[in-house]
Chains A and B, each alone.
Chain A
Amino acid sequence: MSKAQEHNKAKKYGMVIDLDKCTGCGACMVACMAENNVPFKKDESDKLLSITWMKVYKLTNGKDFPDADICYLPRPCQHCEGQHSGHSPCVSVCPATATDYSTDTGIVSQIYTRCFGCRYCMAACPYHARHFNWWDPVWPAGMEKMLSPDVSVRMRGIVEKCSFCFHRYQRAKDKAYMEDRRELEEHEYQTACTQACPAGAIIFGDLNNPDHEVHKIAQPDPGHHGRPKNPNAFRLLERLGTNPKVYYLSSREWVRKAGDNYLKTEKINKH
């Protein structure tokens, strides 16, 4: 197979999150924790120490009563591609190759057994999507029964983050191979948060596939490193050039503006 053909076949899994629909209920966070064996402590109110692969932020428009407004913004790992394939901020600094960019799927992996906890990646990630295990996880007696065998349990001293539920991709792939198929249907591989969102605010799929919802909604512009053509869509810190694969939708301008560090007087860059 030639290089060009290989390139055509590559997937670029990504997400579109509709902030007009997101209710901030937190179901995505819990679905993620349950799916990925994320640990919990007695006090989780220090959010710098709280491991949340998927975290729902609350944005405010900064105005006084009664013009105040809030909006919730769920933040998984953005699975940045960078300016050229695989040049994600975290991947390029990892000395142990514990985190890597898959050109097949566009997913940024995290291999726990390779990570030795230097936390360069955490410093490099502009989205606070990475979390460090300061302690060994402890499940109260009996509760380890709920641990899923699909995702290994992490231990103290390593970094972890959202994997776009990669084990679900593997399971779906296995199933497809068993049925003598090589391609996955759109619905066959969905992340736990996407599946859980009761408001239907999260959409997941292959950004390279024009038939997939994510592609249709975000309309990524290949000439501009995937910048969305949909005027209501934006990406977080677009101007850093991280080329993330998570797109957000909002009909409110102040929300779209909150996605990057705009000056007060600055207008959002129209494409």
Chain B
Amino acid sequence: MKIDRRSFLSLGVGAGAGIALSPLPWKLTDDSSIWTQMWPWTPVPRDGAVNYVNTASTICSGGCGLSVRKIDDRAVKVEGLKGYPGSNGNACIHCMAGIQMLYSPNAVKSPMKRTGKRGEGKWQPISWDEAISETAKKLGELRESGKASTLACILNSDYGTIPALFKQFLNAFGSPNFMRTPSYQDAYEMTLALMHQTDSMAVFDAENADFVLSFGSGIIDGWGSSVRMFKANSSWKEKNVKLVQIEPRLSNTAAKSDQWLPVNPGTELILALGIAHVIITESLYNKDFVEKYAEGFEDWTDNEGNKQKGFKNFVLEGYSPSYAARVTGIEANTIVKLAKDFAGASAPLALCGRGQGTTPGSIHEFMAVHALNALVGNINKKGGIWAMPKPDYIKWEQAKLDDTAREGLKVPRADGAGTEKFPHAKYLLTRLPEVINSAKESPIQALFVSGANPAYTLPDTKAVAKAFASIPFIVSFTSHMDETAEMADIILPNHGHFERYEDIPAPPGYNKPVVGLARPVISPQHNTRHVGDTLIAIAGKLGGTIAESFPWKSYEECLEKTMGENWTSIQESGVITNPDYEAPGWDTAFETSSKKFAFIPGNHNPGNNSLQIPVIEGNDNYRLTLIPYDSMRLAAGPVGNTPFVTKTVSEKVLKGNDICIEINPKTAEKYGLKQGQYAILTTPKGKAKVKTELSPGIMPDIIAMPRGLGHTGIDEYLAGKGININELIGPVEDPASGLDAAWGIKADLVKA
């Protein structure tokens, strides 16, 4: 047969139609998709028995109760533990992604000793015996040369057995320098110490409040116990509880509030007093509380016969709504209405501690906000603020002291806390870098860091690095290579957060006593050791009274004996709590000499009734003000973001490695800046290249930068991304308390 054009074409069409109608092409595409997916490098997760281990979180500050799903011996998923106080069935974003930390390739795999220069990143793995001997030797030398008091410990908490072990160690060793990283809890504890004369924690019956006035507290941005506050916020929505948010930026909390009041930052204190003015002049305050259970409201004559001005006249003379309006930028009639709404509610609650509360803030601001709660009589009441005793289940014998220890403990604290200048402060870690940098020889010669990452979280990173450089011996107990570990001489790695026992007391702000139990979910993945065991081993090596102060063979024994008869129940339920706890009534709540609440504390008349308002750093040559902001999707504390969490960060916050700065469109226009442009941000502390993000949700002339970026350590999914705001901002010493009261810094932004 002759093949002509016509038959060739019809044959082709026929073959085409035949193939198309046959199952062949579909079979081939199906096969090709199957065969192209059989790559040997695609992991096939091993199947196994499903089981759950209940534990409490050590990685978030909110204290989430967790239920970890395991497949045989692998931890695969974190879920919330039902019935756990506060977080009840849920977990925060960081705990949910916590398994990525557990299995991170960046975990410290064995004890390590620095070989290169400080911060160079050259390490040599050493044995535990070697690491402990070397640490003990260095510490022994300090004691022999009479410098016992120069050992300091930095931790992120001072509740629970781990901080207690460090305190025990310092006492036996002879140093007063235990330090907790700063937070709003410092300011609240001091407020209660002054106005109640009690050593207690400020906790909140948030679920039962029916009007919430928040002075910048990021209620749904990670303030307090984050999951618990989310739940409280949802319950407010259901019950139509009004939330008023006072802050210069439209945070998530502000957006979800019923009323957002953008306030000139730093003037919140004046606003609180303006509100108090209205409550007093309109006679809306709780007379029962103010007259029977409080002192210092009316003018009084002190023991020496001097006239003292009471809170009432102090407020009435100086802080009228019109004055407050001028200073804060909030209209006077808005202040009057707000005050009436607040005082008119049956359980109004005023809160403070900006953002997630990582900066303590002005003590007078805290006292003014607390005075608002006092005026409406919502202290130790349903829906109010409670002063709750600190956890007291640790009842060990006191550390045994030898002569060296006794001498060392007489030396004043290096950070100035508890000294004549700052009598009410317990810890002033933010003062320490300056103290070290201005001294000829560092008053801290050896430093232990556990559960904290001061090289990243403390303001003025450069000054912190300089101070650390002059500390001859730094030991980190981290389980991950963080910024502080990078500056250490020896790393004694703790077990990971799902590999160890630890008691987790007092979720911040939770108004019932709680001790949660973190327990091993999986066996240790690396050659790590429990920090408690390490400390006991170092004490043993030092011998003498130090060893005698640690009568336990292991941390587990210590924890078991500490919990005593509760050990079985805490192991079974994962938590000990007392849901029926109620705060003491007004007649027994206050420990002042008159047993009354002190509007103006007798022994701490704040500068003869004059307010001290912390002024931020920088002069008028800077045209803008930079404020930090907090987000649930960025961990700004000692633990950095895991890859999953960083994945949730918006491209309007982090784009590539560039950090975006929020600026009001009008301000941007004024200074010739456009959306998404590179700009140079300058502050008195430093300079950084940033990207502009135009946002109508921020006050003009204020720019905002997120906390939690700019890590150099942690892992390659986080390091090098964005800027750490602590490089651009320094601490501002609150003149009345010594605490860090910086809420921002003067800044300038010009096109790059």
Chain A interface (Cβ < 8 Å from any Cβ of B): 18, 20-21, 23-27, 29-31, 33-35, 37, 40, 42-47, 50, 52, 56, 58, 60, 63-66, 68-72, 95-96, 98, 112-117, 136-137, 139-149, 152-153, 155, 157-158, 195-201
Known: A23-B233, A145-B74. A58 touches B650 (CB 8 A): yes
Which single residue of chain A is at the shortest CB-CB distance from B652?
Answer: A58
Is A45 within 8 A of B649, CB to CB?
yes
Q: How far is the CB of A122 from chain B (nearest CB, A)?
A: 16
- Cα of A145 to Cα of B71 in the assembled complex, Å: 10
- B234, A200: Cβ atoms closer than 8 Å: yes
Check B48 against A149 for contact (C-beta < 8 Å).
yes
In the complex, the chain A residue whose C-beta lies closest to that of B222 is A25
Bound Cα distance A42, B646 (Å): 9
> Residue-by-residue, is B222-238 near A (CB-CB < 8 Å gives 1, otherwise 0)?
00001100110110010
Contact between B77 and A70, CB atoms less than 8 A apart: no
- In the bound complex, CA of A30 to CA of B94 (Å): 9
Q: Is the CB of B33 within 8 A of A114?
A: yes
Contact between chains at A201 and B234 (CB < 8 Å): yes
Please, could you name 11 A-B residue pairs with CB atoms under 8 Å apart, sorted by A? A44-B649, A45-B656, A63-B696, A65-B666, A65-B698, A68-B695, A70-B252, A116-B36, A142-B103, A146-B77, A146-B102
Contact A144 B43 (CB under 8 A): yes
Assess whether A141 is in contact with B37, with CB atoms less than 8 Å apart.
Answer: no
Whether, in the assembled complex, B655 has its beta carbon less than 8 Å from a beta carbon of chain A, the answer is yes
Q: Other CB < 8 Å A-B pairs besides A31-B96, A64-B666, A96-B29, 6 of them? A: A45-B651, A117-B33, A143-B105, A145-B74, A146-B102, A199-B220
Assess whether B208 is interfacial by the CB under 8 Å rule.
no
Q: How far is the CA of A244 from the CA of B234 in the complex (A)?
A: 26
Contacts of B234 in A (CB 8 A): 21, 199-201
B698 touches A140 (CB 8 A): no
Which residues in chain B, 248-270, are within 8 Å of chain A measured between CB atoms?
A: 250, 252, 255-256, 260, 262
Nearest first, the 3 A-B pairs at minimum CB distance are: A116-B33, A147-B45, A68-B696
A115 proximity list for chain B (CB < 8 A): 33
**Which of these binds chain A: B85-93, B390-398, B581-589?**
B85-93
For B649, list chain A residues within 8 Å (CB). 44-45
For residue B414, CB closer than 8 A to chain A, the reply is: no
Cβ of B183 under 8 Å from chain A: no
Most buried by A among B103, B695, B696, B717: B696
Contact: B30 with A145, CB < 8 Å? no
Whether B103 lies near A34 (C-beta < 8 A) is no
- Least distance between A40 CB and chain B CB atoms (Å): 4
* B76 adjacent to chain A (CB < 8 Å): yes
What is the distance, in angstroms, from B303's C-beta to the closest C-beta of chain A?
Answer: 50
- Give every chain A residue within 8 A of B47 (Cβ-Cβ): 149
A198-B92 CB under 8 A given contacts A69-B255, A147-B76, A153-B43: yes
Verify A34–B78 contact, CB threshold 8 A.
yes
Partner of B76, one of A23, A64, A140, A148: A148
Evaluate contact between A35 and B77: CB separation under 8 angstroms.
yes
Judge whether A69 and B76 touch: CB under 8 Å: no
A23 near B644 with CB under 8 A, answer no
Query: Distance in Å from the Cβ of B537 to the closest Cβ of chain A?
Result: 27
- Report the bound CA distance from A23 to B231 in whole Å: 10
A66, A71, A116: the one within 8 Å of B260 (CB): A66
CA A148 to CA B652, docked complex, whole Å: 32
Given contacts A113-B33, A144-B43, A155-B37, contact A64 B647 (CB under 8 A): no
Contact (Cβ within 8 A) B104 A143: yes
Cα separation A24 to B697 with both chains bound (whole Å): 16
Which residue from B99, B647, B650 sits with its C-beta under 8 Å from A146?
A: B99
CB neighbours (8 Å) of B226 from chain A are: 25, 198
Q: Closest CB-CB distance, A69 to chain B, in whole Å?
A: 6
B633 interface residue per 8 A CB criterion: yes
- Which residue from B29, B633, B717 sits with its C-beta under 8 Å from A25? B633
Q: Is the CB of B220 within 8 A of A141?
A: no
Q: Kindly report which residue of chain A lies nearest to residue B25, judged by CB atoms.
A: A95
Interface pair B99/A30, CB less than 8 Å apart: no
CB distance from A267 to the nearest CB of B (A): 24
Chain B positions within 8 Å of A98 at CB level: 33
- Please tell me if the beta carbons of A40 and B717 are within 8 angstroms of each other in the complex: yes
User: B740 → chain A, closest Cβ, in Å?
Assistant: 27
B34 interface residue per 8 A CB criterion: yes
- Contact (Cβ within 8 A) A139 B231: no
Smallest distance from the beta carbon of A38 to chain B beta carbons, Å? 8
CA distance A50 to B656 in the complex (A): 13
Task: Name the B residues within 8 Å of A20 (CB-CB).
Answer: 237, 256
Q: Which residues of B contact A60 (CB under 8 A)?
A: 696-697
CB-CB under 8 A for A25 and B33, given A65-B699, A195-B79: no
- Contact (Cβ within 8 A) A29 B648: yes
A196 contact from B71, B91, B654, Cβ within 8 A: B91
A143–B717 Cα distance when bound, in Å, is 13
Q: Which residue of A lies closest to B716 (CB)?
A: A42
Contact A198 B90 (CB under 8 A): yes
Contact between B97 and A30, CB atoms less than 8 A apart: yes
Tell me the nearest residue of chain A to B658, going by C-beta: A45
- In residues 29-75 of chain B, which contact A (Cβ within 8 Å)? 29-30, 32-34, 36-37, 39, 41-48, 71, 74-75
Query: Which of the residues B71, B104, B250 comes within 8 Å of A149, measured between beta carbons?
Result: B71
B100 contacts partner chain A, Cβ-Cβ < 8 Å: yes
CB of A65 within 8 A of CB of B700, answer yes
Digitize B401-414: 1 where CB-to-A-CB distance is under 8 Å, 0 elsewhere: 00000000000000
User: Max chain A CB contacts within 10 Å: which of B105, B255, B648?
Assistant: B648
Instruction: Let me know if A27 and B43 touch, CB within 8 A.
Output: no
B556 to chain A, nearest CB (A): 25
For B29, the chain A residues whose CB sits under 8 A away are 95-96, 116
Task: Give A66 to B698 CA distance when docked, in angstroms.
Answer: 8
* B538 at interface by CB-CB < 8 Å: no
| Contact status B105-A142, CB under 8 Å | yes
Looking at B26, B30, B652, the one whose CB has the most chain A CB atoms below 10 A away is B30
CA distance A111 to B708 in the complex (A): 38
A67 CB, min distance to chain B CBs, angstroms: 8
Q: How far is the CA of A112 from the CA of B30 in the complex (A)?
A: 11
List B contacts of A45 (CB < 8 A): 649, 651, 654-656
A27, B696: Cβ atoms closer than 8 Å = no
CA distance A139 to B44 in the complex (A): 12
Choose among A25, A42, A116, A148 the residue that contacts B45 (Cβ–Cβ < 8 A): A148
Pick the contact of B96: A70, A155, A196, A201 (CB < 8 A). Answer: A196
Contact A30 B645 (CB under 8 A): yes
Name, among B75, B100, B656, B699, the residue most crowded by chain A CB atoms within 10 Å (CB to CB): B100
User: Which residues of A are found within 8 Å of B651, using beta-carbon distances?
Assistant: 45-47
B103 touches A145 (CB 8 A): yes
B214 at the interface (CB under 8 A from A): no
